[in-house]
Structures are given as C-alpha cells and as structure tokens.
Structure 1
Amino acid sequence: MKADPTVPGQKLWEDVPASLPAALTRLIQDCPDREALVTGTERITWAGLDRASRDLAAVLVARGVNRRTRVGLLMGNGIDWAVCAFAVMRLGAVLVPLSTLLRAPELEQQLRVAAVERLVLVDGFRGRDLMEEFADLLPLDEQDGRTPRLPALKSAWRWDDLRSEARPASTALADALEIRVRPADDLAIMFTSGSRGAPKGVVHTHGNATRAVASGLRVRCVGPGERLYIPMPFFWMGGFGGGLLTVLMAGATLLTEPTDSTPTPEQTLDLLSRERATLFRGWPDQAARLAAHPRTAETDLSSLRPGSLEAILPPHLRGRPGSKANLFGMTETFGPYCGDPLDHDMPPQAWGSCGTPFPGTSIRISDPETAEPVGPGEHGEIRVRGPNLMRGVCGRSREEVFTPDGWYRTGDLGHLDADGRLWCHGRLDDMLKIRGATVYPTEVEAALLTIPGVRQAFVTDIPDTTRAARIAAAIVPEGDAPLHEAEVLAAARTRLSAFKVPDILRVLPSGTDVPRTASGKVDKTALQRLLTR
C-alpha cells in the first residue's frame, strides 16, 4: 500500500500489508519454508498453511461461502483452527471465533448477535458432545437450512466432514474472491464483555487488524524468525491477534499447545526447550509456576530472551522489578495500543505505567461528565482514535460507539503524565464511591500485592442498602504461605488511606481462581456473591 502524502501519518503504513491475503503472499515470497505453527504434536510451514487454507477455501466456496459471509468457528487450538480461519479470511468472508467454553444459551446469543450464517464445529471438546449439546441450535440438514431460533444460520458443518471433502478441481473462484479483498473489508467479529456487561461482537477490518498488530511488533519484541510461545485460546484476542496474526505480520513462528486438555508443566517445558522458543508471552501465573517447577532448573531454556515474561527468565536477563510497561489494550483496538519495549527498563518515574501510545494511535483523557479533554496528570476516561480501531459493534450505530470526531469511549479510567505515558486506574463503571471519596480498585489491588505472601488480589464493592457501599477484596496466597485476614488488613492499613482499606477481606485457598466470564475477565457480580456468602 503506497502512502498518500496528503494523509497525515499514512507513511507509517506504506510497508504494512493491509489485508490477510497480502500478508500471506508476502510471507510465502520471503520465507515459505519457515514454520508457521507448532503445537507439540504437529507442525506446519507457511507454505503448507497457504496450500491447506487455499484448498479449504475452494471447498467453502463450493458450499456457498462468499465475500462477507459470516462463518463461526468452534474448535480448540491447533493447525486445523488456523487452516479453517485462514481459509475463511482469505476469501473476504468474516471469521467469528467462538469460545469452546460457551454453553448452549451463550452460543445461541453470540450466533444471533453476529448473524452467523455458516458454523464449523468439532464433534466434541474436553469430554463434551458438542453436536448433541447444541442440537437444538443447529440446522436439521443442508436442505432445510435455517432454524427458527437462529434465522440467519443456514448451515452447521462438522469439521471432520469439511476437511475430508475432496476439493474442487479448480481453485479459480476462490482465488478470484481473494484478489478482491480490500483493507476496508471485514475480517473478523471478536466477542468481548466487560466484567458486568453482556458480550458484544466487535467488528474488525483487514486494514485495522494488520495495522494494529504491526504497530506493536517492536514494543512486543517480535521480529522475523522469532519463535513465540502463546498458550491463549485462538478465540480470544490474546491467541488470535497476539498469536496467529502476530506471527503472520512478523514472519515468525507460533508455538502453542492444544486446548482440548490442560498441558502439564513438564509438557510445556519440553515444548519450550525442544522448539527453541525465543519469547514466552504466556499467562503470568503460568510463568511463575514454571519458574518454581523442579524440572525447570534442568531444562535448557537458553533460547529465551528479554521481552519474555520475566519469571521464566534467568535472573541476569530480568529487568528491575516493576520496570517494564504494562501493555494496555482491548478487543476494540485489536489488542495492545500502548506500551514501551518489553526488553528495556522504563525510567523509574514511569514504573507502573502502561507506556506510550503505539505509532498512529492517539489517546485523549476526557472528563467523564463533560467529555471535555483534561490536562496532564488529571484523571478521566481514556478515549482512543487511530487506524488500529475497530469498525464498529454488531447491532450498534456508529453514533452509539464513536464520538462525532471519531474517538472511541473506552470506559477505562486513566491519566497521561507530562511525558505522554498512560496510567490506567480501572474501569469507569468499576470506579467506587466510598463515603463520598473516589476509590480505584486497581490501586487497592496494587497495594495488597505488595504484602508478602499475596499472589493475587481482586477488589470490588459490595452495595449495601443500609449504609454506604463497602470495599471488599479476595486474595490468593503465594504457595503455602500462611495468611490471616487480620494480619493482611493490618498490613493494608500501612499502605492505604483508611477509606481505601477493605471492609471485607477473604483469603482464598492457594491455587483458587476467582469466577470469570466466558471472555476470561473477572466476573464482578460472581465475585461479589463470593465475598458476601
């Protein structure tokens, strides 16, 4: 894509492939034999992924998939997921990744919101018979087509049937559709939800997705030839944008593990060592557990380098505690839009910040009530604008989603300092008013995490009809560290103003995870129930 000198900032993107087919074509020209995806039990090169997805694209076209057809995909991580997803996207059809955690009512809601027309799914997952579990939602057969409950859904295809089907003699029609894909064409609908809200379908285009990923490669330290470990499911942005599309845009290799079972630490360590992983961007808790595992000391992880989660790195490669930026982003921005390079320490005055906006991204802090911009250091709602931003949200008008001048109201609270770094203070709807004072849950959580023996902290409010709302916190201890509520509260009082100290505090058993939504976020309503029972 050539730059237009009349468009400010467009030169940033002149060398960035502006669609998935364009990015795949460039990779096949540059490094066809480089591995694209390795799962531990299977592997495929970029040339192999190109061939397999082109063949499947021809099958999909023969079955009625066209430009703009919305295709749902329900299966676990693996090469099959990547092949099917690339086949859909290279046609100009719209991929709708669906969580394997969904139950029938949740799946029905997402299929309806995204107006999915074709659904590809596996027979079973982690002991569940998906064909039986979702039978009431699926079309009876190819001829009957639509179901009364989901009028948009025309077909539901078993993955085993689809991949075993002989491809048409010619891929000419599929190739013709691919040539017509443009940056403004929709690429995918990703589902996300707040900690309290219903899931929403976020619509991303080829152009905004490729630019979002490209703008963060330097900060995330992902370049050509990297071997990036990401365990996140592909139906979440961390696995899809942060994994599959990241290695596509960088010319790298993705290392992941099947999600149809939970890998053991030994299996993960073997994968990292055998495949010479260079970057570990997994779950922070996972990195800490691996670092503490007896096998780690005798496992060759010398290929890992800075830019990885630091718990898994040897001490001489780690930065100073707290010195790295907290990458900050959301599904609506196709992943992170703010951060500083993960292989360098920030200056001490920036510790705890989210770093600086990625190239092309603009950030404004606005007063939540007046919508007027506020100055450096003042707290307000974070608003974002740039080429990385989604096209819109399913079922909502542009006016409902964006301001007249194109800003997206993120609902996040934060401030920009004098150096332009972003500091996040939680969600606007999570901001607490306690006895007339403002309390940010993230601030209380950060203080609790400094108490020795505390591994995780989760803070919310407890509404009370007889008195002001109360602050409540759940903490998870580190290993077998003995923690007592009274001692934790006493330590909290030395770190927090009196009105910020939790009124209710529960110490959960080590290894406990708090309730989460289908998109992986903490379920605040369920957390409140946990803290009040």
Structure 2
Amino acid sequence: MADATVDQALRRQARQRADHPAVIDPADRVTFGELELSTRTVAAGLLQAGVNRGARVGLLMPNGVDWVRLAFAVTRIGAVLVPLSTLLAPPELLAQLRRASVGHLISVDSFRGHRYRQTVDEHRADLPALHRVWTAAEALALPRRAVDDDIVDELTSGVRAGTDLAIMFTSGSRGAPKGVLHSHGNALRAVRSGLAARCVTAESRLYLPMPLFWVGGFGAGALTALVSGATLVTEPVPTPESTLRLLERERVTLFRGWPSQAEALASRLDSVRADLSALRPGSLDALLPEHLRSAQGARANLFGMTESFGPYCGYPADTDMPRSAWGSCGKPFPGMDVRIVDPDTGAPAPTGRVGEIQIRGPHVLRGLLARPRPAVFTADEYYPTGDLGRFDADGYLFFQGRSDDMFKVSGATVYPGEVEDALRSIAGVRAVAVTDVPGPRGPQVGAMVACDDTIEDLRAAARNLLSSFKVPTVWIRTDDETDIPRGPTGKIDVAALRARLAGR
C-alpha cells in the first residue's frame, strides 16, 4: 500500500534505505536514517514549544538540508507547512503571513538583502496570529523531554491522507498570490504519479534549480526524494560555477528544472571544465552530449501548476513522443481527468479546439484560502485552471497560454500559445513569445523571436501557417533566446514582453 503521509514515507525509507543519502547541499548531507531520527527530535521540540496538529508554521529560508529537515518535522506531526519565498518584499511577506494565519515562523534573519526578521519584528502588531519566531538554528535546537518520542508517535499515527500538509502560495504575475491548500495524500499521489515521466528512480541523484518554497522544489525535489528514495542535491545560492562543481562532485544523474538555467550552465562548461558524464537521458538537453539530445519539440513539456501539486500531464522525459505530438505536454497521468471547455459557455470543446483546461483527480488541491468551495470548483468538482489548451485525436495535450492572455484582433480571438506553436515550427526558430500590443486601431499581435531568419522571412512563413489576423504585425528578432523576458519561475514575463514590443 502506498504511503499516505510524510511520516509513513519517511519511516519506510529509513527502514529500507537507512544509509542512502536523502539530501545533499554544499555544506551538509543527511541519509534517510539520519533524517528520520533528526526530524523526530525536531518534531518533539516543536511540540514542547506549542506547535500542535493543525498549527500553521511558516518556513522562510534558502534551500538546504535544514529546510527539508524542518519541513518534514513540521508535517510529520500534522502541523501545516507554509513555505514562504525568499524573494518576497516586506509588504508581500506580511500579506502572506496574515492570509495564512501563520502562528509560528522559522526564518533566517536576512538573505540576499532582505531583512525578514526586522520586517516581522517591526510589524508584529499587524500579525495577530503570530505567536513565536525562531531562527532555523533555534528551531532545530528546541529542548525536548524524554517522553516526547511517545507523544510524537501518537501524533504521527493520527495524521491521515486527508490531513492538511501545506499552504503553497502561487507565484503568478497577475493579481494577488493564491494560498493553495494541499493534503498529505493528494501531494504524495501527485509526486508519485509523475516519477516515471520525470525518469526518477531510487538510484537517481537529482538536482533542481527551483527553490524549495515552490511546488517545483518542494514537490519535484524534497517530496520526490522522499517518495522514490532518490537523492536530492540542492544549494542555497546557485551560480554557474558552484552548480557545475556540485553536479560534478555529487555525480548528479538527473538535471530537471528550467531550460534557461541548463543553457546558461552549458555555456560555461568549457571554462569551468566540469565532468558531467554521470548525467543520464531525461536531464535537460543542453547539458547532455550531442548524441543524447532530442530533436526540438520531440520530448514532452511536463505540464502542471501549484493547484495540481506539480505536473499532471507528461511523457517519459527520455523518450521521443510520436511525431504528431511534438510540442505537446504529453498525456494526462493515470487517475487525472482533464477536459477542455469553451471559455465563454463552459460547454465541452471538440477535439482540436482551443479552450480552458479543467482538471479533476486525486492530487488536485483541497481548496483556496478564504474562498468557498463552490467558488473554486465546478458543480462536478473540476478545477478551472485558467490555462488554455487543446487535445489532438490521440489524446496529447497542447498548452496554448493563459485565458487572461488571449485577446481579440478586429473582433476575432487570438490565443498567444497557438501563434507561438506555429512560429516555433518554422525551421531555425529557437524560441518565441507572443502577446498583444496596443495599436492605433486596437490590439495587434506582437512576437519576439530568437532565430537567424529575417523578419520578412518569418512573416512570409507565418502567413502559410496562420489566419491573416493571427500573423504578427509587430516583430522583434533576436539572436539570443535569453533576450526574451522571463520571470523568476522561467515563465514569459508578459508585461515586460509587451513593453519591449510596444517600444521597439
């Protein structure tokens, strides 16, 4: 029977793989056996300090072994983890602490110029739910009693699959971040469902550039190691040289995450002279030798969101999809119901038609903070994602952008993702981003394209692929795909892109 809680998964790995490394950072490492024992000790200290089942515990610190140790200690006893971004500005941090009603906060004093403790101390009167604030060192060293092991066992045995695990704040660029509530069961099921597509096994040594405070780090990193028995390799402040040396030293076999970081690392390989021969297919192509790389678009773009606790759609990352599916996100994972509906009417969209993606299944969120369930889900329990997509006849999902990014040109709807797909199919195009650009007679289609062709060549090719109203009228051509503006998660920064196009 599959593990239903973090505690069950950690106890199993400690029994079966006690001496196997669980998490490694540049300064520390811990085996599964050590992780089980140390998190039990920390959990006992937290209980003594008043952190009980259901308490909301904020965690604000950079990646590392101690982040995982504290997160697992909190969640083992049924307290609710609230991972907080180290990128938050003071007003954003205070807003999330209030919104999640964080009662206990574990935080570094400062990181990369942000003085978190000072911000919290100066605004304690505005945080009525907050009882205690500890540094990581203080939380790890909280005193415990000899009888606390029995109390920890009693509490962990009462944690169930449906017990709240974490409140994850989304990092979207539009509107206030949403507080997404996940349970132990739905989070672990989500992680388990994506292991094969991500090529993760118990022998993987996995490096991720994502911060652990995002689902891409917590789920695809920390919980992936916990569920699979793999080793997570992470670091607090990645730089090209430090990352390449870490990959070499720890013989990392799987590099997942942002293509842009893999490309940046690849550009430094010759100067750093790091040996990455341990990397295996399933890693991002830029870091693999030429003979192991796939053709552009042949591998699936694993697709998911915070609300689905990571990917819900994919295809084995070391295997080419059928040619007709190139550029797709693969297929929905077993157990996930995914449908496409007309954004205006909610009626099911026919195969091949672009519409809103709605999802339902065992690893979809439990709910959103301060939002009643009927306002979050449809009557038949689907979650409207706000993403646009289409299914082909073989069941492969093609992502077409966000519903709030679609726009109308002369009364006709344009989906940026559809235009991007068409332009990306032009020989020589390495990257593309599309959005609307204000014009004298209304919105225009704008595109920024990384390629070697001229704009005239691109325009001519686009006319053979797209309806006339979808062909971009505003263009920026660049030699370097990193010129395309992106946010911290690697997604296109639409506002910055629109500004670039408008000011070309």
TM-score by length of 1: 0.87
Give the Cα–Cα distance (whole angstroms) in 2 for the partners of residues 24 and 461 of structure 1.
Answer: 48
Q: How many angstroms apart in 2 are the aligned matches of 1:359 and 1:452?
A: 34
Q: What SS is found at the alignment partner of 2:118?
A: helix
Gaps of 5+ in 2: none
Query: C-alpha displacement at 1:468, in angstroms?
Result: 1.7
Question: SS of the residue aligned with 1:210?
Answer: helix
Change (3 A) 1:450 1:379: closer
Task: Count the aligned residue pairs.
Answer: 498
Per the alignment, residue 485 of structure 2 pairs with 514
Task: Name whichever of 292-301 and 327-336 sits farther off.
Answer: 292-301
Q: Which runs of 5+ in 1 are unaligned?
A: 1-14, 140-146
Query: Which residue identity does 1:495 align to in structure 2?
Result: A
Matched with 2:462 is 495
- When structure 1 is superposed on structure 2, of 223-232 and 433-442 the one drifting more is 433-442
Check conservation: 1:228, 1:253, Cα contact below 8 A: yes
- Residues 136-190 of structure 1 show CA distances to partners (whole Å, capped at 9, x for unaligned) of 23x3xxxxxxx2x222222222223222333333323222211110000000011
* 1:297-336 superposed Cα distances (whole Å, 9 cap, x missing partner): 9533222111111121112222333211111111100000
Taking the aligned partners of 1:294 and 1:314, their CA distance within structure 2 comes to 11
Matches within 5 A, 1:92-491: 92-137=78-123, 139=124, 147=125, 149-171=126-148, 172-259=150-237, 262-263=238-239, 265-295=240-270, 298-449=273-424, 456-463=431-438, 467-474=441-448, 487-488=454-455, 490-491=457-458
Whether the aligned pair in 2 keeps the contact of 1:57 and 1:91 (CA below 8 Å) is yes
CA distance in 1, matches of 2:189, 2:486: 34
CA offsets 1:202-250 (integer angstroms, 9 cap, x no match): 0000000011111111111111121111121001111111111111111
Asked if 1 retains the 8 angstrom alpha-carbon contact of 2:327 and 2:421, the reply is: no
| CA positional deviation for 1:462 | 3.0
Question: Any idea what the Cα deviations from partners look like across 1:347-400, whole Å, max 9, x if unmatched?
Answer: 111111111111111111112222122332222211111101110000101101
**Aligned to 2:298, what secondary structure does the other structure show?**
coil
**Secondary structure of residue in 1 paired with 2:357:** strand
- The answer to whether the 8 A contact 2:258-2:490 is kept is no
Cα distance, 1:520–1:176 mapped onto 2, change above 3 Å: farther
Look up the SS of the partner of 1:124 in the other structure.
coil
What is the TM-score when the length of structure 2 is the normalising length? 0.92
Answer yes or no: is the 8 Å Cα contact 1:493–1:501 preserved in 2.
Answer: no
The separation in 1 between residues aligned to 2:199 and 2:38, in whole angstroms, is 29
- Is the 1:414–1:423 contact (alpha carbons within 8 Å) kept by the matching residues of 2? yes
What does the per-residue CA deviation read over 1:95-153, in whole Å, with 9 as the maximum and x for residues that have no partner? 0000000011111111122121111100110233322244323x3xxxxxxx2x22222
Counterpart of 1:150 in structure 2: which amino acid?
Answer: L
SS of structure 2 residue aligned to 1:71: strand
Matched residue SS, 2:106: strand
CA contact under 8 A between 1:191 and 1:200: conserved in structure 2?
yes
Indicate if the aligned counterparts of 1:195 and 1:522 stay in contact, CA closer than 8 A.
no
Which whole-Å CA distance do the structure 1 matches of 2:102 and 2:115 have between them? 21
CA distance in 1, matches of 2:429, 2:339: 34
Query: 3-state SS of the aligned residue for 1:384?
Result: strand
Q: Distance in 2 between matches of 1:229 and 1:515?
A: 22
Alignment CA distance shift 1:489-1:417 (3 Å): same
**Corresponding position of 1:34:** 20
Counterparts in 2 of 1:493 and 1:72: CA distance versus 1, 3 Å: farther
Please say if residues 416 and 422 of structure 1, whose CA atoms lie closer than 8 Å, have aligned partners that are also in contact: yes
Counterpart Cα distance in 2 of 1:500 and 1:323: 25
- The SS at the match of 1:51 is helix
Instruction: Give how far 1:531 is off.
Output: 4.0
Shift of 1:456: 4.3
Give the equivalent residue in structure 2 for 1:10.
Answer: none
| Contact 1:325/1:342 (<8 A) preserved | yes
Alignment of 1:47-58 (within 5 A): 47-58=33-44
Residue 340 of structure 1: how far off its partner (Å)? 1.0
